[in-house]
Amino acid sequence: TQGYYSKYNFHGLSSWPQIQFVEDKQEFSRFPTKAGRRSLSRSISQSSTDSYSSAASYTDSSDDETSPRDKIQVNSKGTNDFCVKNIKHAEFGRREIEIAEQDMSALISLRKRAQGEKPLAGAKIVGCTHITAQTAVLIETLVALGAQCRWTACNIYSTQNEVAAALSEIGVAVFAWKGESEDDFWWCINKCINMEGWQPNMILDDGGDLTHWVYKKYPNGFKKIRGIVEESVTGVHRWLYQLSKAGKLCVPAMNVNDSVTKQKFDNLYCCRESILDGLKRTTDVMFGGKQVVVCGYGEVGKGCTAALKAMGSIVYVTEIDPICSLQACMDGFRVVKLNEVIRQVDIIITCTGNKNVVTRDQLDRMKNGSIVCNMGHSNTEIDVASLRTPELTWERVRSQVDHVIWPDGKRVILLAEGRLLNLSCSTVPTFVLSITATTQALALIELYNAPEGRYKQDVYLLPKKMDEYVASLHLPTFDAHLTELSDEQAKYLGLNKNGPFKPNYYRYTFPC
Amino acid sequence: TQGYYSKYNFHGLSSWPQIQFVEDKQEFSRFPTKAGRRSLSRSISQSSTDSYSSAASYTDSSDDETSPRDKIQVNSKGTNDFCVKNIKHAEFGRREIEIAEQDMSALISLRKRAQGEKPLAGAKIVGCTHITAQTAVLIETLVALGAQCRWTACNIYSTQNEVAAALSEIGVAVFAWKGESEDDFWWCINKCINMEGWQPNMILDDGGDLTHWVYKKYPNGFKKIRGIVEESVTGVHRWLYQLSKAGKLCVPAMNVNDSVTKQKFDNLYCCRESILDGLKRTTDVMFGGKQVVVCGYGEVGKGCTAALKAMGSIVYVTEIDPICSLQACMDGFRVVKLNEVIRQVDIIITCTGNKNVVTRDQLDRMKNGSIVCNMGHSNTEIDVASLRTPELTWERVRSQVDHVIWPDGKRVILLAEGRLLNLSCSTVPTFVLSITATTQALALIELYNAPEGRYKQDVYLLPKKMDEYVASLHLPTFDAHLTELSDEQAKYLGLNKNGPFKPNYYRYTFPC
Amino acid sequence: TQGYYSKYNFHGLSSWPQIQFVEDKQEFSRFPTKAGRRSLSRSISQSSTDSYSSAASYTDSSDDETSPRDKIQVNSKGTNDFCVKNIKHAEFGRREIEIAEQDMSALISLRKRAQGEKPLAGAKIVGCTHITAQTAVLIETLVALGAQCRWTACNIYSTQNEVAAALSEIGVAVFAWKGESEDDFWWCINKCINMEGWQPNMILDDGGDLTHWVYKKYPNGFKKIRGIVEESVTGVHRWLYQLSKAGKLCVPAMNVNDSVTKQKFDNLYCCRESILDGLKRTTDVMFGGKQVVVCGYGEVGKGCTAALKAMGSIVYVTEIDPICSLQACMDGFRVVKLNEVIRQVDIIITCTGNKNVVTRDQLDRMKNGSIVCNMGHSNTEIDVASLRTPELTWERVRSQVDHVIWPDGKRVILLAEGRLLNLSCSTVPTFVLSITATTQALALIELYNAPEGRYKQDVYLLPKKMDEYVASLHLPTFDAHLTELSDEQAKYLGLNKNGPFKPNYYRYTFPC
Amino acid sequence: TQGYYSKYNFHGLSSWPQIQFVEDKQEFSRFPTKAGRRSLSRSISQSSTDSYSSAASYTDSSDDETSPRDKIQVNSKGTNDFCVKNIKHAEFGRREIEIAEQDMSALISLRKRAQGEKPLAGAKIVGCTHITAQTAVLIETLVALGAQCRWTACNIYSTQNEVAAALSEIGVAVFAWKGESEDDFWWCINKCINMEGWQPNMILDDGGDLTHWVYKKYPNGFKKIRGIVEESVTGVHRWLYQLSKAGKLCVPAMNVNDSVTKQKFDNLYCCRESILDGLKRTTDVMFGGKQVVVCGYGEVGKGCTAALKAMGSIVYVTEIDPICSLQACMDGFRVVKLNEVIRQVDIIITCTGNKNVVTRDQLDRMKNGSIVCNMGHSNTEIDVASLRTPELTWERVRSQVDHVIWPDGKRVILLAEGRLLNLSCSTVPTFVLSITATTQALALIELYNAPEGRYKQDVYLLPKKMDEYVASLHLPTFDAHLTELSDEQAKYLGLNKNGPFKPNYYRYTFPC
Could you give the CA distance from residue B34 to residue B19 in angstroms, rounded to a whole number?
A: 12
pLDDT score recorded for residue C505: 65
CB of A291 less than 8 A from some CB of B: no
B385 interfacial to chain C (CB closer than 8 Å): no
Q: Which of A290, A330, A346 to mutate to test the interface with C (most CBs of C within 10 A)?
A: A330
Distance from the first to the final alpha carbon of chain C: 53
Helix then strand then coil, in percent of chain B rounded to 5, is 45, 15, 40
**pLDDT score recorded for residue C509:** 54
A320 Cβ under 8 Å from any chain B Cβ:
yes
Q: Which of B280, B288, B479 sits opposite C277 (nearest CB)?
A: B280
Dist CA C328 CA A288 (whole Å): 10
Rounded CA Rg of chain A: 24
pLDDT tens string B260-283? 888 888 888 999 999 999 999 999
Spell out the residues 6+ positions from residue A52 whose beta carbon is closer than 8 angstroms to its own: A46, A427, D284, D397, D398
Average pLDDT of span B481-505 = 90
Backbone angles phi, psi at D394, to 5 degrees: -100, 135
Q: How far apart are CA C438 and CA C104, in angstroms?
A: 9
Of C309, C329, C331, the CB nearest to A332: C309
- pLDDT tens-digit profile of D92-149? 999 999 989 988 999 999 999 887 899 999 999 999 999 999 999 999 999 999 999 9
Walk along chain D (512 residues) in steps of 10 and give the mean pLDDT of each run: 29 28 32 30 28 38 75 93 96 92 92 90 97 96 97 92 97 96 95 93 95 94 95 83 88 90 86 94 94 95 96 98 95 98 98 95 96 90 97 92 96 95 83 93 96 91 91 95 95 91 67 34
CB-CB neighbors (< 8 A) of D312 in chain B:
329-332
- For A445-471, the pLDDT digits (tens) are 999 999 988 999 899 988 889 999 999
Question: What gap in Å lies between CA A436 and CA A257, rounded to an integer?
Answer: 8
pLDDT exceeds cutoff 60 at A226: yes
Residue D225: its pLDDT value, please? 95
Distance CA A192, CA B83 (A): 84
Judging contacts by C-beta atoms under 8 Å, the chain D residues touching residue C336 are 480-481
- pLDDT value, residue B507: 62
Cβ atoms < 10 Å from Cβ of B272: 29
Give the separation between CA C415 and CA C421, rounded to whole angstroms.
Answer: 7
Is B303 marked as binding a ligand? yes
Contact B509 A299 (CB under 8 A): yes
d(CA C493, CA C510): 23
Is the Cβ pair A511, B511 closer than 8 Å? Answer: yes
- Most confident segment among A264-268, B232-236, D414-418: D414-418
Distance from C-alpha of D409 to C-alpha of A102, rounded to nearest angstrom: 11
3-state secondary structure of B460: strand
Chain C residues near residue B291 by CB distance under 8 angstroms: 478-479
Interface of A with D in 203-222 (CB under 8 A): none
Q: Is the pLDDT of residue B55 over 60?
A: no
Is the Cβ of A336 closer than 8 Å to some Cβ of chain C? Answer: no
- Give the bridge partners for C316, in sequence order: C293, C334
Closest C-alpha among C305, C303, C295, C281 to residue C415:
C281
Question: Does position A23 have pLDDT exceeding 80, yes or no?
Answer: no
Sign of the four-CA dihedral C425, C429, C435, C438: positive
Candidate from B289, B329, B333 with C-beta closest to D330? B289
**Residues of chain A by 3-state class (helix, strand, coil), percent to 5:** 45, 15, 40
Query: CB of D288 within 8 Å of any CB in chain B?
Result: yes
Which positions in chain D touch B314 (Cβ < 8 Å)? 332-334
Q: In Å, what is the CA distance from B499 to each residue of A124, A319, B258, B495?
A: 47, 12, 20, 7
**What ipTM, to 2 d.p.?**
0.84
Strand C148-153 to B314-318 pairing: unpaired
Counting DSSP H helices and E strands in chain A, the numbers are 22, 15
- Residue B505's pLDDT band, with cuts at 50, 70 and 90, is low
Output the pLDDT for position A508: 67
- Determine contact: B381 vs chain A, CB below 8 A: no
* Termini Cα distance of chain A: 53
Q: For residue A429, list chain D residues with Cβ-Cβ distance below 8 A.
A: 284-286
Nearest to D317 by CA among D350, D363, D288: D350
Average pLDDT, chain B: 85
Q: How far is D370 from chain B (nearest CA, A)?
A: 18
Whether D299 has a binding-site annotation, put simply, is yes
The pLDDT value given to residue A382: 97
The residue among B53, B280, B285, B313 with the most chain C CBs within 10 A of its CB, best to mutate, is B280
pTM recorded for the entire structure: 0.87
Q: Is A314 on the interface with C (CB under 8 A)?
A: yes
Chains that touch C (3 or more CB pairs under 8 A): A, B, D
Q: Is D494 exposed, middle or buried (0-12, 13-18, 19+ CB in 10 A)?
A: exposed
Question: Nearest CA to B296 among C148, D234, A489?
Answer: A489
Q: Which of D289, D329, D331 sits opposite B330 (nearest CB)?
A: D289
pLDDT tier, B38 (very low <50, low <70, confident <90, very high otherwise): very low
List A152's β-bridge partners, or say none: A128, A175
Chain C environment of A331 (Cβ under 8 Å): 288, 312
CB B271 within 8 A of CB B375: yes
- Domains of chain B, each with CATH number or no CATH: 2-6+24-54+66-262+436-446 (3.40.50.1480), 267-425 (3.40.50.720)
Q: Under a CB-based contact definition with an 8 Å cutoff, are residues B341 and B349 in contact?
A: no
Q: Which of D276, D311, D398 sits opposite A52 (nearest CB)?
A: D398
pLDDT in tens, A340-396: 999 999 999 999 989 999 999 999 999 999 999 999 877 899 999 999 999 999 999
A408-A411-A414 Cα angle (round to 5): 145
pLDDT classification of A49: cutoffs 50, 70, 90: very low
Name the residue facing A314 among C311, C313, C334 (closest C-beta): C334
Identify the pLDDT of residue C398: 85
Which residue numbers in chain C have pLDDT < 70?
A: 1-64, 504-512
Residue from D42, D269, D270, D280 to probe the interface with A (highest A Cβ count within 10 Å): D280
Query: CA-CA distance, A352 to B489, in Å (whole number)?
Result: 11
pLDDT, tens digit, 9 for 90 and up, residues C117-140:
999 999 999 999 999 999 999 999
In contact, B460 and B254? CB cutoff 8 Å: yes
Tell whether residue D422 is among the known ligand binding residues: yes
pLDDT at B479 over 50: yes
In sequence order, the 6+-apart residues with CB closer than 8 A to the CB of C98 are none
Q: Which of residues 71-110 of A touch D (CB under 8 A)?
A: 99, 102-103
Amino acid at D505: Y
pLDDT (tens digit, 9 = 90+) per residue, A117-172? 999 999 999 999 999 999 999 999 999 999 999 999 999 988 999 999 999 999 99
A464: which residues sit within 8 A by CB, 6+ positions away?
A: A260, A499, A500, A502, A503, A504, A506
Q: Give the gap in angstroms from C-alpha D308 to the nearest C-alpha of chain C.
A: 14
Q: Identify the H or E element spanning C102.
A: helix C90-102
Which residues have C-beta within 8 Å of that of residue A257, sequence separation ≥ 6? Answer: A39, A230, A231, A232, A233, A235, A236, A263
How many angstroms separate the CA atoms of A429 and B250, rounded?
A: 56
pLDDT at B27: 34
| Contacts of D among chains (3+ CB pairs under 8 A) | A, B, C
Chains that touch A (3 or more CB pairs under 8 A): B, C, D
CA gap A27, C91 in Å, rounded:
79
